[in-house]
Amino acid sequence: MTSRGRSINIGERANFVNEIAECERERSVDSGTTTNSIMRRIILGVGGVTNGGKTTLTRRLLGALPNCCVVHQDDFFKPPDQIEVGEDGFKQWDVITSIDMEAMENTVTAWIENPVKFARSHGIAPSPSEPDEDVQILILEGFLLFNHKLLANMCSERYYLTIPYEECKRRRSGRNYTVPDPPGLFDGHVWPMYLKHRQEMEESGVSVASIDGLLSKDEIFTRVYTDIQNRFLNVS
């Protein structure tokens, strides 16, 4: 899934989306075309606590938004033999070094460089022609998204789902991951790491739109979808 195409400097990627949009805007003005011919790229982040409802929300958005692709952070977990055991006695799955972030960055770069090709290569058909036909949207979904400065900065909006400890533990106990949770993982590793990363995110100054994950699935979807429509799609 990684891009082997033209590489761009990692430090430049956060500004890359806006720069491309600007170039395309200028090009379209030069050639006298209408604003409808501008391809706008929008990256949205869906982050938050494990089992907060990120995947559920992302799937709904994917089905509703035009020309929308998704990159899941969970798809970049390193293999179990590369995950170290920490002082808490557990394999350290809930830290960012458990994820191959370079591969994830490369995948996002591939979308930025050519969203249409990216969608095609991931089996996503273009949306039927609409006024929004030249909007391309990428959703980044993951539990440690906004602790990664580069990806956090790429997002035009960062939706952050939270649920309280008891509900999180309840939902987590019903989940089947490719690597099953050993006894005690939630209290010994998952929840403490969530609190730690959440604090680090808040201290880093990254701004997020917090969403109460206890709301119904429909309510969460409607709120986020309406926000996206109003702020990013209903613009001339």
Ligand X SMILES: Nc1ncnc2c1ncn2[C@@H]1O[C@H](COP(=O)(O)OP(=O)(O)O)[C@@H](O)[C@H]1O
Ligand Y SMILES: O=C(O)c1ccc[n+]([C@@H]2O[C@H](COP(=O)([O-])O)[C@@H](O)[C@H]2O)c1
Residues belonging to the active site: 74
Q: In one letter, which amino acid is 86?
A: G
3-state secondary structure of 191: helix
72-131 positions binding ligand X, by CB under 6 A: none
208 binds ligand X (CB under 6 A): no
Which of ligand Y, ligand X, none is residue 178 near (CB under 5 to 8 Å by kind)?
A: ligand Y
Of the candidates 129, 176, 178, 216, which one interacts with ligand X according to CB under 6 A?
A: 216
Which of ligand X, ligand Y, none is residue 16 near (CB under 5 to 8 Å by kind)?
A: none
Burial class (CB in 10 A: 0-12, 13-18, 19+), 140: buried
54-83 positions binding ligand Y, by CB under 6 A: 54-55, 74, 77
The answer to whether the CB of 204 falls within 8 A of the CB of 153 is no
Which of ligand X, ligand Y, none is residue 105 near (CB under 5 to 8 Å by kind)?
A: none
* Helices and strands counted in the chain (H then E): 9, 5
CB 24 → ligand X: shortest distance, Å? 33
168 binds ligand Y (CB under 6 A): no
3-state secondary structure of 135: strand
Stretch that binds ligand Y, among 13-21, 47-55, 114-122, 151-159 (CB under 6 A): 47-55
Backbone angles phi, psi at 124, to 5 degrees: -100, 120
178 binds ligand Y (CB under 6 A): yes
Q: Rounded to an integer, what distance in angstroms lies between the CA atom of residue 231 and that of residue 209?
A: 13
Q: Rounded to an integer, what distance in angstroms lies between the CA atom of residue 97 and that of residue 117?
A: 30
Backbone angles phi, psi at 5, to 5 degrees: -80, -160
Which of ligand X, ligand Y, none is residue 200 near (CB under 5 to 8 Å by kind)?
A: none
Stretch that binds ligand Y, among 13-21, 113-121, 129-137, 174-182 (CB under 6 A): 174-182
Q: Which residues bind ligand X (CB under 6 A)?
A: 50-56, 171, 213, 215-217, 220
